[in-house]
Structure 1
């Protein structure tokens, strides 16, 4: 069995965990809505699933332990910590694959802690992933409901304000993490960036993905220059 993390998108970086944990926990749960009914007591009705979480604890072995049989391919513990911490900070979407199991899904790192232990340079860590749900937003034209939308303002739109500048996409970026850089630490304005750059994002994605588009900004590629709107 091996555990891989790979950045989504063309040419994404891959990280292989140098040693395996004793156990991997996968949690799926259902949200329930409760109702109190006089004649029946409390009734709980399913109301959707919570995102899948995957977690484990492990050890990044120091150089003195790199020849232990449990170590598959030794990597400096500090490099392991740096890579995972960087992905967590950026909110990078990753493909998590555990060979020999059915775990092969897109995730983000929701929790990661790492500390030095013992006298061999080992680092013990705990990590948790949450399944990444792709957000698909449809226009009224796509949903064919334009005629039902009430027009409340017929005045011309005000002139667009000056932009914040431009940003060149780097490996590991996604629209959520780019939005966090420019909008006060929040990634919720990712759609604003997508709308302002839809033409270049879609044309680049079509070139790399054989005409299949970006899936509303999910597939973006290093070197693409984006305009960042206010």
Structure 2
């Protein structure tokens, strides 16, 4: 299992936590609209979901501890702190992925604390993430605002093709990032691409020595994918 952060914009800047936290906490809350009704008291009506929040604590181990079994890939604690603080200050949109779990979500860092800990150069940290949702700007047509819209003559649209075409996987790509590219900035329907290309994704993973692709987690440069509508 790995906890991985990747910059969404370029897909190349990546940070793998050197050691795993003991626990990853996720919070999903329903958003309610409250009404005070004389005969019933307070009534709450569900109005969609609030943004998902994920948090965990851990330790960045110092150099004298880098050979401990819990350390998977040692990075200097000061460098770990620098990377996360930089992303937090810039409000960088990141992909948070915890392999072997269903955590695969675009986030920003809402809180990050890091302090020296023990006598081995360790740093204890606490980090919190909040789900990122892109702001969509709607057109007047989408909002059905026609009073002040200039009328134009439009030609019938050509019949939609059976799919959006094809895409050749590049280094650093994930199905999530490919979905964002073709589906208006949303990566949540990456399964649509996986289902349309399941046979080629799985066969390629096996050729690379994997038992399977872990439901599309492992994709490889050069693989040609069909992008469905």
Do both proteins adopt the same fold according to a TM-score greater than 0.5, normalized to the shorter chain? yes
SS state of the match for residue 140, structure 1?
A: coil
Structure 1 pair 23–213 and aligned structure 2 pair: CA distance change class (3 A): closer
Name segments (4+ residues, structure 1) moved above 3 Å.
212-216
1:1-36 deviation digits (Å, cap 9, x = unpaired) = 101000013343010000001101000001222222
Match of 2:70 in 1: 70
Q: 1:145-164 alignment to 2 at 5 Å?
A: 145=144, 147-149=146-148
Give the root-mean-square deviation of aligned CA atoms: 2.5
Structure 1 pair 11–131 and aligned structure 2 pair: CA distance change class (3 A): closer
5+ residue gaps, structure 2 = 151-169, 171-177, 186-229
* Whole-angstrom CA distance in 1 between matches of 2:11 and 2:22: 31
Structure 1 pair 150–9 and aligned structure 2 pair: CA distance change class (3 A): closer
Match of 2:25 in 1: 25
* Whole-angstrom CA distance in 1 between matches of 2:100 and 2:183: 31
Q: Is 2:80 the counterpart of 1:80?
A: yes
Q: 1:101-120 alignment to 2 at 5 Å?
A: 101-120=101-120
Please tell me whether the aligned partners of residues 140 and 149 of structure 2 are also in contact (alpha carbons under 8 angstroms).
no
Please tell me whether the aligned partners of residues 19 and 59 of structure 1 are also in contact (alpha carbons under 8 angstroms).
yes
Q: CA deviation at 1:130?
A: 0.5
SS state of the match for residue 92, structure 1?
A: coil
Aligned residue pairs total: 159
Give the TM-score normalised by the residue count of structure 1: 0.63
1:109-152 deviation digits (Å, cap 9, x = unpaired) = 000000001110000000000010011112224x274532389x
* Whole-angstrom CA distance in 2 between matches of 1:213 and 1:149: 32
5+ residue gaps, structure 1 = 152-207, 217-230
* Whole-angstrom CA distance in 1 between matches of 2:139 and 2:8: 26
Q: CA deviation at 1:80?
A: 0.2
Q: CA deviation at 1:37?
A: 1.6
* Whole-angstrom CA distance in 2 between matches of 1:71 and 1:32: 43
Structure 1 pair 102–65 and aligned structure 2 pair: CA distance change class (3 A): same
SS state of the match for residue 35, structure 2?
A: strand
Q: 1:130-149 alignment to 2 at 5 Å?
A: 130-141=130-141, 143=142, 145=144, 147-149=146-148
Match of 1:176 in 2: none
* Whole-angstrom CA distance in 1 between matches of 2:91 and 2:12: 15
Q: CA deviation at 1:214?
A: 9.6
